[in-house]
């Protein structure tokens, strides 16, 4: 059978940014669970991802998927100093909000809210967008993420200076850079290979 674009089942597309759990429906055929080789399985890194159509679609290029996932984990989960996890997630959520990835923003705004306990501020980022006033330290992180997300990149020395004034050391600033950069990777895959659905 020739390759074809998938028609997603009837669903409700979210029309606003939300912290609610969403589903993601692929526009191209993921590998079937029973068709996965050992190499495909290893590329998923976490066995739980077997259930995810997103990861089973990306598993069609297993080497790229595995390296992507291991990059992701170190940027967000490495506990060695630098930017607190909550603010790595804030950079991810801000990047996703600016690029317009409703699905990515839902996941990482939930994480940002969980780790920071600042649900109202995170919700304000979703509702008002990247110009929302979240206090100077978060404003600096959001502004840096947004400048780095612009194409061509608009990140400059003034963003570094503002982050330093907010108390970030250079490892923490590098974490902002890598977290925002990584979501420029993730947003493009999520936005272009499928779509979000409400009520996942």
Would you tell me which residues interact with other proteins (CB under 8 A)? 2-7, 13-17, 27-29, 57-58, 60-61, 63-68, 70-71, 73-75, 78, 80-82, 98-101, 129, 148-153, 155-157, 159-161, 170-171, 173-175, 177-178, 180-182, 184-189, 191-193
* Sign for the pseudo-dihedral over CA of 18, 22, 27, 30: positive
Q: Looking at beta carbons only, is 89 or 175 nearer to other proteins?
A: 175
Q: Looking at beta carbons only, is 133 or 169 nearer to other proteins?
A: 169
CB of 91 to other proteins, least distance (A): 11
Angle at 45 between CA 1 and CA 109, to 5 degrees: 95
26 DSSP 8-state letter: E
Q: Looking at beta carbons only, is 75 or 134 nearer to other proteins?
A: 75
CB 115 within 8 A of CB 108: no
CB of 114 to other proteins, least distance (A): 22
H/E segment holding residue 161: helix 157-165
Beta bridge partners of 104: none
Q: Looking at beta carbons only, is 14 or 117 nearer to other proteins?
A: 14
Q: Looking at beta carbons only, is 39 or 51 nearer to other proteins?
A: 39
Q: Tokens at residue 116, please?
A: 């920071």
CB of 41 to other proteins, least distance (A): 16
- Cα separation of 107 and 109, whole Å? 6
Total residue length of the chain: 200
- Cα separation of 185 and 101, whole Å? 11
CB of 108 to other proteins, least distance (A): 15
- Cα separation of 159 and 192, whole Å? 30
CB of 22 to other proteins, least distance (A): 13
């Amino acid at each position: 059978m020739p390759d074809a674009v998938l028609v997603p089942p009837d669903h409700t597309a979210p029309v606003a940014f939300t912290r609610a759990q969403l589903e993601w429906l692929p526009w191209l055929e993921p590998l079937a669970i029973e068709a996965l080789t050992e190499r495909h399985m290893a590329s998923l890194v976490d066995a739980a991802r077997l259930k995810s159509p997103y990861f089973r679609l990306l598993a069609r290029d297993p080497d790229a998927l595995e390296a992507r996932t291991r990059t992701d984990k170190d940027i967000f989960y490495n506990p060695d100093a630098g930017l607190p996890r909550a603010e790595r997630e804030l950079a991810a959520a801000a990047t996703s909000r600016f690029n317009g990835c409703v699905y990515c923003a839902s996941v990482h705004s939930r994480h940002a809210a969980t780790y920071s306990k600042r649900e109202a501020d995170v919700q304000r980022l979703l509702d008002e967008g990247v110009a929302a006033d979240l206090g100077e330290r978060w404003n600096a992180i959001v502004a840096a993420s947004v400048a780095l997300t612009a194409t061509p990149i608009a990140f400059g020395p003034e963003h570094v200076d503002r982050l330093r004034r907010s108390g970030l050391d250079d490892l923490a600033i590098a974490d902002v850079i890598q977290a925002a950069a990584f979501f420029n990777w993730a947003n493009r895959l999520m936005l272009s290979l499928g779509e979000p659905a409400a009520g996942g």
